Structure 1
Amino acid sequence: MPGRSGTRTDYYIGLMSGTSGDGVDAVCVHFDEHGPRVVLAAHSYQPYPEPLRQRLLALMVPGDNEIERMGALEEELAEIFAVASSEVHRKAGLAASDIAAIGSHGQTIRHRPRGPHAFTVQIGNPARIAERTGIATVADFRRRDMAAGGQGAPLVPAFHRWLFAHATRARAIVNIGGIANVTVIPAAATGACTQGFDTGPGNALLDGWARRQTGEPQDTGGRLAARGRVDGALLGLLKDDPYFTAPPPKSTGREHFSSEWLDDRLQRLGRDLDGADVQATLVALTADTITEALAPLAPEEIYLCGGGTANPVLMAAIAARLAIPVHTTARLGLDPQLVEPTAFAWLAREAQAGRPGNLPSVTGARHAVVLGALYPA
Structure 2
Amino acid sequence: MNKNWNRVFEIINKPERIIIGLMSGTSLDGLDIALCAVNGNGIDTRLEVLKFETFDYSNEFKMQVKSIFAKRDADLQMVCLMNEQVALQHAELILEALSAWGIKKEEVDVIASHGQTIYHAPKSFHGLPGYPNGTLQIGDGDHIAVKTGILTISDFRQKHIAAGGEGAPLALYGDYLLFSKAGEDRIMLNIGGIANFTYLPGDQDSAKVCSTDVGPGNTLMDQYVQRHFEGLYYDENAAIARTGQSNPALLEALLEHEFLSLGFPKTTGPELFSLSYLEGAMTKSETKSLARQDVLATLCCFSAEVIIRAINQFLHTDQNIKVYMSGGGMHNPLLVSQLKAGLPLLQFHTTESLGINPDAKESVLFALLANETLVGSAINFGDSSGAPAVYMGKISLPG
Question: TM class by shorter-chain length?
Answer: over 0.9
User: Alpha-carbon deviation of 1:353?
Assistant: 1.8
**Does the alignment pair 1:270 with 2:286?**
yes
The whole-number CA distance in structure 2 between the counterparts of 1:67 and 1:249 is 32
Work out whether residues 206 and 382 of structure 2, in 8 Å CA contact, stay in contact via their aligned partners in 1: no
The whole-number CA distance in structure 2 between the counterparts of 1:88 and 1:52 is 18
The whole-number CA distance in structure 2 between the counterparts of 1:15 and 1:358 is 26
**Does the alignment pair 1:195 with 2:210?**
yes
The whole-number CA distance in structure 1 between the counterparts of 2:90 and 2:382 is 29
- Unmatched 5+ residue regions in structure 2? 1-9
The whole-number CA distance in structure 2 between the counterparts of 1:374 and 1:93 is 26
User: Alpha-carbon deviation of 1:255?
Assistant: 1.0
Partner of 2:184: 169
Distance 1:252 1:258, change over 3 A: same
The whole-number CA distance in structure 2 between the counterparts of 1:357 and 1:46 is 33
Work out whether residues 197 and 362 of structure 1, in 8 Å CA contact, stay in contact via their aligned partners in 2: no
Partner of 1:54: 63
Distance 1:362 1:83, change over 3 A: farther
Work out whether residues 229 and 276 of structure 1, in 8 Å CA contact, stay in contact via their aligned partners in 2: yes
Partner of 1:315: 336
User: Alpha-carbon deviation of 1:60?
Assistant: 2.1
User: Alpha-carbon deviation of 1:251?
Assistant: 0.6
**Does the alignment pair 1:304 with 2:304?**
no
Partner of 2:296: 279
Work out whether residues 195 and 217 of structure 2, in 8 Å CA contact, stay in contact via their aligned partners in 1: yes
Q: 2:168 aligns with which of 143, 150, 153?
A: 153
TM norm structure 2: 0.87
**CA offsets per residue over residues 318-368 of structure 1, 9 Å max, x none?**
111112221111111111100000000111111122533785667625x41
Identical amino acids, percent of aligned pairs? 33
Partner of 1:83: 92
The one-letter code matched in structure 2 to 1:340 is E
What SS is found at the alignment partner of 2:167?
coil
Q: 1:123 aligns with which of 116, 138, 148?
A: 138
Work out whether residues 226 and 280 of structure 1, in 8 Å CA contact, stay in contact via their aligned partners in 2: yes
**Does the alignment pair 1:335 with 2:357?**
yes
Partner of 2:4: none
Structure 1 residue runs of 4 or more that deviate by more than 6 Å after TM superposition: none
User: Alpha-carbon deviation of 1:312?
Assistant: 1.1
The one-letter code matched in structure 2 to 1:109 is I
Work out whether residues 151 and 249 of structure 1, in 8 Å CA contact, stay in contact via their aligned partners in 2: no
The one-letter code matched in structure 1 to 2:327 is G
Q: 1:18 aligns with which of 25, 39, 54?
A: 25
- Unmatched 5+ residue regions in structure 1? 1-6
Q: 1:368 aligns with which of 389, 392, 397?
A: 389
Partner of 1:222: 238
User: Alpha-carbon deviation of 1:36?
Assistant: 5.3
Q: 2:117 aligns with which of 103, 108, 115?
A: 108
Distance 1:357 1:351, change over 3 A: farther
Distance 1:46 1:314, change over 3 A: same
How many residue pairs match? The answer is: 370
The whole-number CA distance in structure 2 between the counterparts of 1:361 and 1:47 is 40
Cα RMSD after superposing both structures: 2.1
What SS is found at the alignment partner of 1:59?
coil
The one-letter code matched in structure 2 to 1:214 is F
Q: 1:39 aligns with which of 48, 61, 67?
A: 48
The whole-number CA distance in structure 2 between the counterparts of 1:358 and 1:243 is 27
Work out whether residues 166 and 187 of structure 1, in 8 Å CA contact, stay in contact via their aligned partners in 2: yes
TM norm structure 1: 0.92
User: Alpha-carbon deviation of 1:20?
Assistant: 1.4
Distance 1:179 1:358, change over 3 A: farther
The whole-number CA distance in structure 2 between the counterparts of 1:109 and 1:168 is 39
The whole-number CA distance in structure 2 between the counterparts of 1:93 and 1:357 is 36
The one-letter code matched in structure 1 to 2:161 is M
Distance 1:354 1:180, change over 3 A: same
**CA offsets per residue over residues 167-199 of structure 1, 9 Å max, x none?**
011100010111111101011355652101111
Work out whether residues 14 and 26 of structure 1, in 8 Å CA contact, stay in contact via their aligned partners in 2: yes
User: Alpha-carbon deviation of 1:261?
Assistant: 1.3
